[in-house]
Structure 1
Amino acid sequence: MLLSDAVVSGLAAATIAIAITILVERLGGQIGGVIGTVPSTMVPAAIGLWAVSHNPSDYARAMSPVPFGMLINAIFLLVWRVVPAKLSGFPSKWLVPLTTAISLVIWVFGALVVVEFFENVDQRGVPPLVVGWFGFLILVAFGLSVTAKGVPEVRATTVPSIPILFSRGILAGTAIGAAVILGHSGHSLVAGIAAVFPAIFLTTMVALWWSHGYDLPASATGPMALGASSVALFSLLTASLYWRLDVLMGTVASWLVAVVVCTGGSAYWLSTRRTLIQSEVP
């Protein structure tokens, strides 16, 4: 049962990852970045973790770190905008490996900090969902701050190859399958962090850079960081709705609210920032 839950969740996540990234690259960095962060791989992850959770409290413990995990992902994305600009003097062939290594080191460090933080929170008896909602507010504030000055629109001119698309699916599916297995083993905090491993973000950044250079992935980092709040909101809502409704209704309701509030709100915010950029052009 555990293996089948992990495989089904992983395959669903892989399929969603491939579909979403195709959509992103056809819409450009700004709008595509926001749409690409709608709750996608998190949907099968949430369903899989609920299936292996012993009770609603265990599931809530797995979901409450997700906003902080997405905050780490937002910082991970920002590295892809800042580090290449700072290391512009390096040979171009080294920029992608260096940026990949730096971003992953930062992500792993951040994940360890979040796990340690939530373990301390548990010991103090603080409800994990309360901390999760606090993390959601921090994530939204971070996303607004990194897009406040506007985001230039850059579009892709080519479509990624089939192997690249499959690599995204494999990475995303593996991360989600591992999260389900960890959730069943009782490591719910680690499972919640594993569920938000930036598999799609990483492969998207690398693939876009190889295909189009620095400008396109850099233009998508801010919108993706802001749009990541939809995943966090979806996760927190499922922790409150799954045990009140059934899984299907809870998933649909959580997804719709997250997309309307966060994805729609992010798109509107970015449209006002685009107007700001246009008004500043002499």
Structure 2
Amino acid sequence: MTFATWPARRGRHLTMASAVLAAAALLTACGATTGSTAAGTSPGGPSTAGRTAPAPSGTASAQPSGGASVLGGHPSEDAPTLAHLAGLGPQTAARVPADARQVIVVTGEGRNSPRSRVVLYQRTASGWHGGAGWAAHNAVKGWTADHHLDDLRSPIGVFTLSDAGGLLSDPGSKLPYTHSGGFAATGTGFEGESLAGSFDYVIAIDYNRVPGTTPLDWTRPLGQAKGGGVWLHVDHGGPTHACVSLAKAHMRQLLRTLDPTQHPVVVMGDGASLRR
């Protein structure tokens, strides 16, 4: 399956034939029960010929290079640190790349809980600053440091955020955005809630995927058994298979705020794991 060539910045559009095939190829992965085509799935996508796939890297796609400091740069001693604001422990903080200037922290209520809280932190000259916290859902069985396909847990780790898309037109995303009917979601979730609209907006989490491709790309560098198609997407009112879901308004805000030049990442896991 191949996709049409898309413009340089954003607005990557699938051909009609590809969109139909993508919709038909959707596999349950992030919020759907049996018989639904839904949240957090990624159908077979464009060829990755000519691209260099990232080396497999366990559960964390974003790693500091050369042992660089987690916070990067040299903020003043009085400036707030990301670890201080987000409650991250030394092991977790050390995995945040030094060049990251935008960090989404997803803190789960517990290892086996499907509920979490999302905060966007941005770094300025005076240090790190966090916004208001947003309620969110994660996988129905909670979290794992060794994610596998259909384990119904969200992967713990630090991951880059490179690509976005959705069933709705681009709301002003700074990340490359794929507008496609392939993001249609149907069926019901774990609590009987409708999944319609779950993929109106999505941001691909770079877990077991090739950054720089549409979220609909099904390439899995770590192999199919390690799962994939883990996204930030619109909340449908219940737990997911592996994704993190939050209100549509908050997804729009993230799409308009996350900037590739600021090297955004997501830090995600249950609170106890993140404090390590």
TM superposition score category, shorter chain reference: under 0.3
TM-score by length of 2: 0.26
Higher radius of gyration, 1 or 2: 1
Is the helix fraction higher in 1 or 2? 1
User: Per chain length, whose mean CA-contact separation is higher, i.e. which structure has more relative contact order (CA < 8 Å, sep 6+)?
Assistant: 1
TM-score by length of 1: 0.26
